Amino acid sequence: MADYSAALLSALRAAAAGHEVEVDASADVNLYHLGNNQLHREIYQRALETPGVVVLHDAVLHHFFLGTLGESEYISEFTYNYGAWSEDLARDLWRRRSRSAADAQYFRYPMLKRIAERSRSVIVHNPAAARMVREHAPDAVIHEIPHLFQPPELPPPYEVIRKRQQLGVPAQTFLLGVFGHLRESKRLPTILRAFQYARESAPMALLVAGEFASSDLARSLEPLLQSDGILRVGYAEERQFWLRALAVDACVNLRYPTAGETSGITIRLMGLGKPVLMSVGCEVARFPGSACIKIDSGTAEEPMLAEYMVWLARFPDDARAIGARAAEHIREFHSPVRVPKLYWDALLA
């Protein structure tokens, strides 16, 4: 989210057309970025005290409140959103909060009412988030603006080839990648099991790149992560991230439960021309079916994912064609020319 905000700041300044853009200063209109994380406590409070335009990077703020409020404050906030009748439910959710990272029930209650009602307007990146805001604040002004893609300065091709060699991936091996903050909702157990099955049918490897959100999750997946064909690397600074992203042939970026977010990883990899396997949902409804691969959640998830892995590895030309359509879509709708103009329209409305 910090990378996104920095890229958006630069793009807004480039498209300012006589308007000034300042960071952390008094202004005619304040633009706040909020996510489902307790690190955003101060921004949330400021957005309530001095209302402006709020960008919801996650449309579920439930976990933010679990991390920032005590029990009585949490119950009060929950009932503010869903009525006095929900007090017993709130108490039960508080008692079971250790399960909140993976339990879908916590994602069913976004707790958006206060910020949506208080703000001048709300910016979201997809129809799922827009629906959540509307359900909590029917009179809120909502702008759906695509997630910005800021193209990187691409390294020369030989560096990408060298990166694959450093990872130990032969030229003819299809390399899949999982990137980002490795939390429960990223569906890693499913991905690893599907990969084990798919690898029996086609030459492929799987790069798992990023840090685990939970030490318990990391320990539980350790046996699977040590399987043949799994390449495990940690967090990398920006340039190394782009090298890894360019080195893979496809990206797996599943989400369940979802928080109404548009994945920055998905936008970045599609923008690079990589096919992305993603979970079906309203969050990805704007992506054409020909420009990505959408995987059903539930019982079909694992076998469906495995079959698509095999297909992409056996028919890499098809994978490249999907990636090319993905890049075309991102260039048209998520560009640093189009997106800032939409932001300015929202800010000046």
* Residue position matching structure tokens 């060298």: 162
What distance in Å separates the CA atoms of residue 15 and residue 339, rounded to the nearest whole number? 10
When the pLDDT of each residue in the chain is averaged and rounded to a whole number, the result is: 95
4 band by pLDDT with thresholds 50, 70 and 90: confident
DSSP 274-322: --EEEE-SGGGTTS-GGGSEEE--GGGHHHHHHHHHHHHHH-HHHHHHH
DSSP-based three-state secondary structure for 34? strand
CA angle, residues 69, 83, 42, in degrees to nearest 5: 30
Q: pLDDT by residue (tens digit) across 89-131?
A: 999 999 999 999 889 999 999 999 999 999 999 999 999 999 9
Domain boundary assignment for the chain:
2-149+336-348, 157-333
User: How many Cβ atoms sit within 10 Å of the Cβ of residue 80?
Assistant: 13
Reported CATH class of domain 157-333: alpha beta
18 band by pLDDT with thresholds 50, 70 and 90: confident
User: How many Cβ atoms sit within 10 Å of the Cβ of residue 42?
Assistant: 8
CA angle, residues 286, 39, 179, in degrees to nearest 5: 45
Q: pLDDT by residue (tens digit) across 312-329?
A: 999 999 999 999 999 999
pLDDT at 349 over 90: no
pLDDT score at 25:
75
pLDDT score at 213:
86
